[in-house]
Amino acid sequence: MTLTVKNIGSGYGDRGIIDEISFTVPSGTIMALFGHNGAGKSTTLRALLGLLPLSQGSISLDEHRIDKLSVSDRIEKGLRLLPEGRGVFPDLTVAENLSVVAAANCKKGTDRTAGTTIEKVYSLFPVLADKRNLQAGNMSGGQQQMLAFGLAILGSPRCVLLEEPSVGLQPDLVEELFGYFRVICREHDMSAILIEHRITSALKIVDDVLILNNGRVVYHDNVEATRNHDIWQYF
Ligand SMILES: Nc1ncnc2c1ncn2[C@@H]1O[C@H](COP(=O)(O)OP(=O)(O)OP(=O)(O)O)[C@@H](O)[C@H]1O
Ligand SMILES: [Mg+2]
């Protein structure tokens, strides 16, 4: 689904952090969200998911406004977040993590066999299949990150927000994962936002690049144009 963000502002309490942010992520495409530490990237994703209220602006998935919906209703509409840090249930086993999320998707009327299945996640990350009966919190950081990524793409999400999915993963796995992610975005008409400090790897799979500085958009263009642009000046 196409994610359309118009002129949003958000922050914490009275403290405005992001302002006048607008962009569109067409169905099947990925937008990189870059910016220095504290630029407002995580704040933007939290506002999109509804964890923070908007002070202004609108958010739509295809033609439907979602900015007045609760977090759970936005998830029901197909929005997913792979949060910063480890987005897994540490006390549940690997298999339980996957089945809990698959069941939650299912309850919301999603076909359990549609899109990315648990078996598909296991085939993507064989180590997760080997450790399916281990508590997720007892796996290595990289293995937990693989599971978090698996949970974010499970089922048929419509728009996925990924925060530093490569943290803790070895470089060859990052490229493989990114390549796979690009394919599923295309195949499932999913849109995605990718926050990633591995800029060069991210540029290989994204369609558009948006850069924030102090909560404002300072650069927004397609990836071809970005390759000929000195984006490092914004960091
Ligand atoms: N819970 C919070 N309460 C108050 N201010 C916050 C909170 N979280 C973040 N901020 C502030 O909001 C600003 C933007 O932070 P944000 O986490 O969005 O940056 P970021 O671009 O994700 O940075 P990083 O690359 O370090 O993850 C920072 O100045 C930060 O101090
Ligand atoms: Mg952040």
Last residue of a domain, one of 108, 129, 156: 156
Q: What is the pLDDT of residues 16-72, one digit of tens each?
A: 999 999 999 999 999 999 999 999 999 999 999 999 999 999 999 999 999 999 999
Same domain for 218 and 166: yes
CATH number, domain containing residue 56: 3.40.50.300
Same domain for 168 and 70: yes
Neighbouring-strand partners of residue 97: none
Whether 228 lines ligand 1, by a CB cut-off of 6 Å, is no
Same domain for 99 and 53: no
Same domain for 114 and 26: no
Q: Which ligand is nearest to the CA of 48?
A: 1
Q: Which residue's entry shows tokens 């630029």?
A: 39
**Nearest residue by C-alpha to atom 7 in ligand 1:** 12
The whole-number pLDDT of residue 84 equals: 85
Whether 43 lines ligand 1, by a CB cut-off of 6 Å, is yes
Among 30, 23, 21, 29, residue whose Cα is nearest residue 4:
23
CA of 101 to the centre of ligand 1 (A): 28
Whether 42 lines ligand 1, by a CB cut-off of 6 Å, is yes
152: number of Cβ within 10 Å: 23
Same domain for 74 and 123: no
What's the structural domain count of the chain?
2
Whether 85 lines ligand 1, by a CB cut-off of 6 Å, is no
The Cα–Cα gap between 187 and 29 comes to 10
**What length does the chain have?**
235
Q: What is the pLDDT of residues 104-157, one digit of tens each?
A: 877 666 565 678 899 999 999 999 999 999 999 999 999 999 999 999 999 889
Q: What is the pLDDT of residues 59-87, one digit of tens each?
A: 999 999 999 999 999 998 999 999 888 78
CA of 42 to the centre of ligand 1 (A): 7
Give the type of residue at 231.
I
Same domain for 207 and 109: no
Whether 210 lines ligand 1, by a CB cut-off of 6 Å, is no
The Cα–Cα gap between 127 and 230 comes to 39
Helix (H, G, I), strand (E, B) or coil at 5: strand
Neighbouring-strand partners of residue 193: 31, 161
Domain residues for the domain of 129 are 87-156
Q: Which ligand is nearest to the CA of 34?
A: 1
